[in-house]
Each structure stands twice: as structure tokens, then as C-alpha cells.
Structure 1
């Protein structure tokens, strides 16, 4: 039987479906990476680098992976240094800007900012993209992830200081911009093309 092997195996799909589950070696590698991140977070929470905290982080990390196993999140893309630098630089700028804005609202006399919850459907619905986009958004003051609909690829985000519908539209566009930067930095070629295709569709059918 002839044809493109990638098409037969589903590698060329750009519908946002998750990648196939990794083998035993890949699964162990992913668990080791997850354990490393859990230990790092544990040390940051304690704020003290010591052998006791390191051992405690290892114990807690292993317990989390054993008793609360997460679905495998694989990396099927490619790292693009230029786009990654853009992602880091824009995130740092937005972090400072949002911090100043929230601090200004907090000390402004008589200010009672309104908040809202917006639902944003991501264009690339892999577990990795959902997780990274949610994390980056939550780290910026003024936005917080309330719920993630994994099946539909929808993030429910609490946004701060909403005054009119234009602010809601701006919040949605900002979240989709974060997703685009992440996909361009570490996404696969199919995922990047998916973003470009949907952008053209939105311009053609506003």
C-alpha cells in the first residue's frame, strides 16, 4: 500500500489531538522531568536549599507521581530559540506592566474595579499547550485560571479590572496571543500551521 506514512499514522493531523502515548523509556523520562520540577517547586516553597528539604522534596514528589498519576504529556514539537526569546521577553514585560497596574488599583482611593470570567477556546488542544498557556496566564497579576476543559480545549479565566465589552475582547486576544507565542516557541510545524490557518479564517470571517 502506498501513500504518505505520516498521513496513515496520523502524524500530519493538525486538529489539536494529543500525540500518541510514549513508550516505557519515554514515560520514565517524563516522570524524571516531572519529579525534578516537583522537587524544585518544593525547594522554592521552603526557600531554603538543604539536604533535608531536598530529601523531603524527593519523597513528596515520588508520592505525588505514585498516588496521583497524571496523563502523559509528551513533547512532539521543536525548540525555536528566537521565538522562545520573544516569549520570555514579552512575558517579563507583561509581568512588570500588570504588577504596576494592579498595585496602582490597590492604592487608588475609592477604586472598586470590576472583574469577570471569560471562556477562551485554544486553537491547539494538546495537554502541553493547555498546561503551559494556563501557567503563563496565571503567573501574570490580574488573571487567574479557574477551570480547564481539557476535552474542549477551553480555559476559564478570571480577569481583573473589566469596564466594558472591549476589555473582555482584549483579554481574550491577550490569552490567544500568549498561546501563539508558546506554540511558535516550542510547537510542531503542524501546530504552527494550524495557528496560521485559523488566523486567516478569522480575518476572512470576522
Structure 2
């Protein structure tokens, strides 16, 4: 019963505090409205929340976090130097279709976040059947090598973490 009434207690508390801060009042009426909103919104929206992901290999997750951190720094430097270097060497930006083996919704969301934080890549589109992904890549002179790197570096570890 309690789980249905408060499916996300931290979210409830955050909504109550946010309501009171935004209204700049702690009057009895505002507190009642804040509590009603804070309890009702998560309870009514609980069916829309995805199932909690099950992380099957936490060590792979830790390694992936390190790899993403390294790639963010490396990619930032590459984009920076590309902007500063002599314009005689062209940038090979392009749209790249990447076939996906990943199907888990949490893993796909993680892949989208990784793609977003690594400079030089932009997630553009996911096929309706989740079989392919369209990315815009800042500099990819060899498309096949980029696809192999992306799948090996990001997709495979996410498959181990979420789908094994």
C-alpha cells in the first residue's frame, strides 16, 4: 500500500520543496497544495516509469565510465585542435548509420547519454525497431572504423551490463 501511495519518496520530497520555493510561501494552504501535488504526481505517473534496470556486471559499468571519461577528454582535445589547426586539411564530418544489437531500453538510454556527452558526436535518430542509429560525427575519415570503434567501445559493454 505504501509503495503505491509513495512510489518515489525522494521525488515526492523534491516536488514538495520545489512547490514551496517557487511559490515563496510556507503558508498552510501552500503546504497542503505542495503535499497534494508531491504525493499525487508520482503516484499518477508511476505506470509511465520504466522498469528498474538490472545491472548484471557492475565492474564493466565502472570500466565503461572510465572509458567514457577518457573519450570525453580525448574528443574535446581533438575538436579543439581541429578548430585551431591550419584549414588546409578538411574535417570529415558525416552522418553515420550504425546497426545496433542493443535492445534494452535502459541500455539504449545510456548509449544516448554517452553519445551526447562525447564531443563531436550527436545522436540524431533511432530506428523505430531499434535496429539502427543515425549519428552525426564531427570527424570520421573512415566510416567503417568509426562504426567498429563505437560498437566495440560503447555498445558491447552496455550489452554486458544490461543484457547478459
Q: TM-score range by the shorter chain?
A: 0.5 to 0.7
Superposed CA deviations along residues 23-75 of structure 1, whole A, max 9, x for unmatched, are x85x934xx78x59xx8xxxxxxxxxxx779945xx9xx8x98xx99954223
Find 1:151's aligned residue among 126, 129, 140: 129
Residue equivalent to 1:140: 118
Normalization by structure 1: what TM-score? 0.55
Deviation (angstroms), 1:106: 0.6
Q: 1:70 to 1:54 in 2, by over 3 A?
A: farther
4+ runs of 1 displaced by more than 4 Å? 51-56, 68-71
Q: 1:112 to 1:85 in 2, by over 3 A?
A: same
Residue equivalent to 1:182: 158
Structure 1 stretch displaced more, 114-123 or 98-107? 114-123
- Does the 8 Å CA contact 1:120/1:156 hold for their aligned counterparts? yes
Find 1:129's aligned residue among 94, 101, 107: 107
Normalization by structure 2: what TM-score? 0.67
- Does the 8 Å CA contact 2:140/2:146 hold for their aligned counterparts? no
Which blocks of at least 5 consecutive residues in structure 1 are unaligned?
1-23, 40-50, 193-206
CA-based RMSD of the aligned residues comes to 3.6
Deviation (angstroms), 1:104: 0.5
Which blocks of at least 5 consecutive residues in structure 2 are unaligned?
23-33
SS at match of 2:7: helix
Work out the CA distance in 2 between the residues paired with 1:83 and 1:121: 22
Deviation (angstroms), 1:81: 2.8
Work out the CA distance in 2 between the residues paired with 1:113 and 1:103: 12
1:106 correspondence with 2:79: no
